[in-house]
């Protein structure tokens, strides 16, 4: 007798990973979500940056935790590096090809990654109410 599994096939494709990350951000009401495609640039730290902001340190932590959990559960992948968890104003998940930045609004303005990487192809996502 065959046993059916409810487990989804692991995600290994970068586009599917990016979609899951963006969905996870929207689940926790992250705002001003951008995906920067850096693949055509010579000197790049990753293929993609996904950037969003949150209204509080608690929401930053919730978004990061939700992304981490969803990606681990669905793709069996964990980030190579996590940074900024204790700062409360910015956190980062590094999935090698994709780096996720979750900022407090003032911190996002300070680092201004969108301007720094203005040659990237930028895709904007709707805020979920």
What's the rounded Cα separation, in Å, for the pair 38 and 40? 6
**Which CATH architecture best describes the domain 14-125?**
2-Layer Sandwich (3.30)
What's the rounded Cα separation, in Å, for the pair 95 and 48? 10
Query: What is the tens place of the pLDDT at every residue in 69-128?
Result: 999 999 889 999 999 988 889 999 999 999 999 999 999 999 999 999 999 999 999 998
Q: Where are the domains of the chain?
A: 14-125
Query: What is the tens place of the pLDDT at every residue in 1-36?
Result: 444 444 555 657 999 999 999 999 999 999 999 999
| Its pTM surpasses 0.95 | no
């Amino acid at each position: 007798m065959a046993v059916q599994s409810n487990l989804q096939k692991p995600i290994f494709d970068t586009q599917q990973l990016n979609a899951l990350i963006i969905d996870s951000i929207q689940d926790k009401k992250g705002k001003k979500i951008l995906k920067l495609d850096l693949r055509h640039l010579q000197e790049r730290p990753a293929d993609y940056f996904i950037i969003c902001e949150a209204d509080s340190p608690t929401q930053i932590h919730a978004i990061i935790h939700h992304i981490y959990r969803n990606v681990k559960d669905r793709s069996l992948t964990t980030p190579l590096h996590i940074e900024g968890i204790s700062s409360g104003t910015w956190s980062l998940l590094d999935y090698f090809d994709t780096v996720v930045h979750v900022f407090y609004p003032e911190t996002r303005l300070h680092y201004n990654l969108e301007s720094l990487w203005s040659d990237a192809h930028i895709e904007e996502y709707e805020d979920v109410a």
